[in-house]
Each structure stands twice: as structure tokens, then as C-alpha cells.
Amino acid sequence: MTSKQGIQPEDLYHLKSVADPQLSPDGTEVVYVETRIDEKKKDYVSNLFYINLKNKTPQQWTFGEDRISSPIWSPDGSQVAFLSTRTGKSQIYVLSKAGGEAKQVTYCKNGVTSPVWSPCGKKMAFSIKLGKDETILDKVTDEKKEEKELKPLEIDKMKHKSDAAGFLDMEQFSQIAIVHLESGELEQVTKGNNHVHLGTWSPDGQYMTYLADVAEDTDFSFKSDIYLLDVETKQARPLTEGTGMYYQTSWSPNSRFISFIGSEREFENATQAKLWLYDLQQNLLTCVTSEFDAPIGDFAIGDFLQGVVSPRVQWLNDNHSFYFQVTDHGNAAIYFGNIDGEIYPAIHDDQYVYGFSLDAQHDQAVVAISTTTNPGDLFFVNLKTGEKEQLTSINEEFLKTRALAVPEAIEFEGAEGWKVNGWIMKPVGYEEGKKYPLVLEIHGGPHAMYANTYFNEFQILAAQGFAVLYTNPRGSHGYGQTFVDAVRGDYGGNDYEDLMAAVDYVLEHYDFIDADRLGVTGGSYGGFMTNWIVGQTNRFKAAVTQRSISNWISFYGVSDIGYYFTDWQILAGLDDIEKLWHHSPLKYVNNIETPLLILHAEKDYRCPIEQAEQLFIALKHRKKETKFVRFPESNHELSRSGKPTLRINRLEYIRDWFVNYL
């Protein structure tokens, strides 16, 4: 038995994240972002850190109490640009490697995103949102002094709100601008009534890429095309044909090839992302990973890391080869590929690679890696041999004072004989011969994946004496296109059978689990599934449903994605109310006997709070055991990036409900 205690909810104040490593052009230095929670401010603080790869000693480069993101080296490696919220809105700052204060280079009214250096190093492109009659010259004002007049909000678009941004200004569009660093002069590159999102600048300086959907009716368009913009003439042409969703461009060093990620959406939002190449010399588009049955990019789900930026495809100097991220069987890995179609894994261990920056000359990279017992650190990796050297140890000292549960991977037979993967965690302080309660955790998405990464909520439950079971049932990414697509039209069918098979499997193979003390919880799709489970079986003695769906009929009209998500996922709209109701947990509310805690955020526009209200009232009306907790000023992302105090409150509610009933 261990004498150390496990992770507690308030330990969020002691744990830090490192993310978004960026290697200098010569591959000898790296900058990255470190994020912590300030206990006095009760808010996130992120700063820029630096490591010289000769001496490997981390140095803090900025010391503000704001948020920093998007660090990017100048082409000559003498400066680093980054975004900072130190004046309120996000603006670009440039810091000389020689030292001194960072210089603010944009003062735009609505803030800026996506900074990109020009290859000559004298200019910087960025994305900016401009409303009606606004220009790039409008400077930021002191919003505290300027009380905003209340006005009605006119809506004529179905896409009028988003969980991330709230209600959208329908007359505001994203455009691209350039700042000339020496003079401070601003230049607007794109105009019009379409959102234009900056991609990357070609190494020869001639072109920029951007993403746009130019469909007339964007309410029913779910596409994003790659455009090539001539910097001199401002003329643009599409590289993709308006048939899919494409993003994240990067260039070969000789500016001949553009690589990007995306899909033709053959299976709507369950389609695996692929890697594409456009050859500018031959005007030829090819899919590099057409025969590769795993999604390109990061589809792992977590609840801890801050500031993670999904890495682009990164090219070697040979103009022929590149490295890219893949989500595969519980891991996020780095693969090697080339224009001849060769593909093989470079780093594929039991871990979550959540960022990397390539030394294009030497097949080396600085890689951000999380494991089940390390929340995340940076490593210097030889991509040819796999040798790695740890560069940061940001949580090591604190974690020496805590005991962590170590998950064990399992594989079992789900519905229809399909193989399903998952993990079982013994409680902290596990003693042979004792019986322990078990909590089944279900991820959201459903097209996401639990991974070999640190999960704070699971550690807190294990610290409290619970065994924790978490799996990737059908619908999850990382196990092939057929597997990820299998949940569509079948919510509560074989996905439910997979989860029950997981519980049956661990009860049969692990004699320390008490079959009479089972709990279940999950958020979003995992909340839907928690509601579904307690309406189908009474085998669980306690349940916690988070940011859940209970009624697909009302979800149609109130969610920011509702009017198309039900078509894609339930394969039914308002013309098939019976099917929507058949898959709605609310239909089975009379069957629910499990004590159910309902957690929901007030400003969740993805799964709006009326979903929780309906379920709560229906349960109370029937004298069922339930409690409803509403989190103010929070959206669907509460568990991952919400206000720190509320994130901690949420963890305490989950823990205490299971302690009380199990």
C-alpha cells in the first residue's frame, strides 16, 4: 500500500502544460509555451520558454500574467513572433533573441490570429475579423470605459452561433492582412463576404495559401477549400474542387509541393482525414494516404493539456519526404512519408504525441509527448533511430509527492465479434484480496479516441479508491474507417453492446471489482450514452451525466450543430420523428432507477442546457433520485479549458457522487 495520496481536484493549481514546440531554422534552439493556473488570479497564465539544444537548460523568456500562443521563428532565426493578450485582445509581438522587451506590432481593434512570417523576414501576415464598415486601421479601444449599447440581434442564417464564440456577428468576416515590420504599415490582402483563413507562405515568397468556403448558402455547406493566392497580384485560385473539407497546408522547401489534410466527407463527420499533395509544376492533386486506414492528425481526447496545436505535415530539405501525425489504436504517432507514396511509422509507442517541430536537415525533431503517468513534456528525438532525450520535466517534482494509477491495456470482443480496445486502472493504494467499486468512463465525439495519455479525472477517481474502465467502442477514431462509421444510425445499439461487453469482460477477468458497486459517467456523446445506459439497465448503482443529450427532437433546433448533426449521426431529421425519439434517452425515463447526477454548463451551445433541464424535470416528476448542477459562464469545453475553479468544482461533484453511492 502506498503512503502517498493520489491526484486531488485542487492539484490542477500545481500541474503545468508544455505545448507547441518550435525549432529554430538551424535546428539548434527551441521555443515553446508553458501554461499554468495562477492560484491568486484563479486563471490561466502562459509564457514563452526557450531551450538551446547544446546545453538543454530551459529559460523563461516572457513573464506576463496573460496568455501567449503561436510562437514562430523569423526566417533568419534572430527573432520570435507570438500572440499575446497582454493588452486585452490577441496581438502580435516580436521578441529579439538577443534580449530586451517584446515589441507590439499589431494594434487591431478585433485582435488577430495565425501569424506567419514572410520568407524575407520583413513582413508578417495574419488573420483578422472585420465587421461592417471596419478596416484594418481601426485600433483597439479601452473596452472597460466604453459601455456597449444593448441592441437586438438580427438572425437570418442557421449558422448563427457557435459553442466556442457564442452568437456570431453576421456582418463580420475573417480576412488576411500584412504588417510591414519596419514601418508598421498595414495592408489588407483579401476582401469580401466570405471567411478567409490564412494558411502558409510559400518559401519563395510568391504565394500564400488560405482556406475558404465560397458557397452561396453556407448553412448547408460543410466544405473548406484550399486557395493559392499570388501575393503580388492578389489573384487567387482554388486547388481543391469544393467537394470536401481541407486544412493545414505546408510547403516543400522548393515551393513545388503543397501538402494538406482533409477528406471528401464520404462518411460526413465520421470520415477519416487523409494526407494530400498538390504539385504546382504539374497542377496535379493526389491523395498520399488513400490506402492507409487511419486518420491523419490528432483525434485523442483529454482533459488536462492547454495550448495544444495540432502539427502540420513537415518537410525534409530533400523536397521529397515529410513527417506527419497519425491517430492509431490508442496512440498518436509520427509517420514518415514521401511523394512516391511510401509510409511507415517513425515514432509509434504507447503514448500521445501532441506536437512536434522538425529539423529538416537531420531527421530530428522536438516532440511533445504525454503518457498515462506523465501529463506532458518535450523530448529531442532522432526520427531515424527513435533515440530520445528528455528536455523538460515540468511536473516531475510535484508528481513525486503523488501516487498515480497505471492503466493496463485490454482487448475484448464487442458486438458482432468485433475487437474493442480499452484500459483498466486499479485504484491508488490497491490491496490484493480487496474488492473495489468500478467507474465506466465514456468519451465524447463519438468520433474521438481515448489514448495512452494522462487523464486527470481518471486519476482523481483512482485516488478515491475506484477502479476505472475506459474504452474505444465503435464510433471511435483510430481503428479504421469501418469502425468509426459504424455508430451512425445506431446510437444506443452496438455501441451500447460494446460498452456492456467491456464491463462483462473486466468482471470476468479482474476479481478485485465489486459487481454490485458499478458507476458510469461521460460527457457529450458520453453523456448521451450514460443517459441511454441507465434507461436500459439497472446494473449501475450511480451515474453522472455531463453536457449530455437526452432528446434528439429538441436538439435539432437548439444546438449550434443540431440541424445537420442528427442527419449525419442518427440518419434522421424532423421528417422522421419516430427514429429521433427511438434514439432519445428521454423516451426511456420511466426505466431509470440509477441515482443520476446531471452536470451542465449554462452557455453550452453544442449540447444546450435544455437537454439537461428536460431530463432533470422528467426524473423529478417521477420521484427519481437525481440532482442538477449548472455551471455559470461556461460552455461545452468546461472540463478541458473552463474556468479553473469551476473545473475543480466539477471534479469534486463527480468524485463525491460516486463516493456517496458506491
Please list the active-site residues. Answer: 524, 636
- Give the CA radius of gyration of the chain: 25
What is the three-class DSSP state of 632? coil
Helices and strands in the chain: count of H runs, count of E runs: 11, 38
Q: Whole-angstrom Cα distance, residue 34 to residue 59?
A: 11
| Beta pairing, strands 467-472 & 436-442 | parallel
Q: Contact at 8 Å (CB) between 42 and 644? A: yes
- List Cα–Cα distances, 358 to 19, 95, 259, 328, 355, in angstroms: 15, 22, 15, 21, 10
Q: Identify the residue whose cell numbers are 482533459.
A: 303
Q: Identify the residue whose cell numbers are 448563427.
A: 160
Q: Identify the residue whose cell numbers are 492578389.
A: 234
SS3 percent helix, strand, coil of the chain, rounded to 5, is: 20, 35, 45
Strand segments (E) across 303-435:
314-315, 321-328, 331-338, 343-347, 352-359, 364-371, 374-382, 388-390, 408-413, 419-425
Cell of 329: 489504436
Produce one character per residue of 14-32: b if its CB has 16 or more CB atoms within 10 Å, e if not: bbbbbbbbbbbeebebbbb
Q: Contact at 8 Å (CB) between 466 and 441? A: no
In single-letter form, the type of residue at position 381 comes to: V
Neighbours of 406 (CB within 10 A): 12
CA dihedral 553, 559, 564, 567 (to 10 degrees): -30
Q: Whole-angstrom Cα distance, residue 235 to residue 233?
A: 5
Q: Whole-angstrom Cα distance, residue 89 to residue 83?
A: 10
Q: Contact at 8 Å (CB) between 222 and 266? A: no
Instruction: Judge if the upstream peptide bond of residue 446 is cis by omega within 30 degrees of 0.
Output: yes
Which secondary-structure segment (H or E) carries 420?
Answer: strand 419-425
Produce one character per residue of 324-358: b if its CB has 16 or more CB atoms within 10 Å, e if not: bbbbbbbbbbbbbbbbeeebeebbbeebbbbbbbb
